[in-house]
Structure 1
Amino acid sequence: MSAIFNFQSLLVVILLLICTCTYIRSLTSLLDRRKTGFLGTFWKCARIGERKSPWVAACCLIMAAMVLFY
């Protein structure tokens, strides 16, 4: 089943995207050049990960527990 049709899988994919973009932005300035368009989505995900990091971390822990125990 695709992640689009399964809500829990969609949330996991979104959280992984946010965490990955934030990690890439912390290593390089690769995402800073493209702030608009389709590639701007990755920059926006990195900004969400930076500004809401305690919330994103809590969501990652909750989703990890859900994946492990369900």
Structure 2
Amino acid sequence: MSAFFNFQSLLTVILLLTCACAYSRSLAPSVLDRNKTGLLGKFWKCARIGEWKSPYVAAGCIVMAFSILFTQ
């Protein structure tokens, strides 16, 4: 089943994308900062969300991890 048809998988993909973008921006900020528009701008926006809302993203990752481990 595709991640777009399964809500839990979609949330997992979004959380992983946000965390990966924020982590990659912390390693090489110039790569994402020069691409603020277009398709690569989506990754910049995910990185900003991951930085600004990091406690909520971390809590979402923990909840999703327990959900995946214990409900599937």
TM-score normalized with structure 1 length = 0.98
What is the rounded CA distance, in whole Å, between the counterparts of 1:68 and 1:49 in structure 2? 23
Q: Which residue in the other structure is 1:20 paired with?
A: 20
Q: CA deviation at 1:15?
A: 0.2
List 4+ stretches of structure 1 deviating above 6 A: none
What is the rounded CA distance, in whole Å, between the counterparts of 2:28 and 2:37 in structure 1? 18
Return 5+ residue gaps in structure 2 as ranges.
Answer: none
Which structure shows the higher helix fraction?
2
- Count of residue pairs the alignment pairs up: 70
TM-score normalized with structure 2 length = 0.96
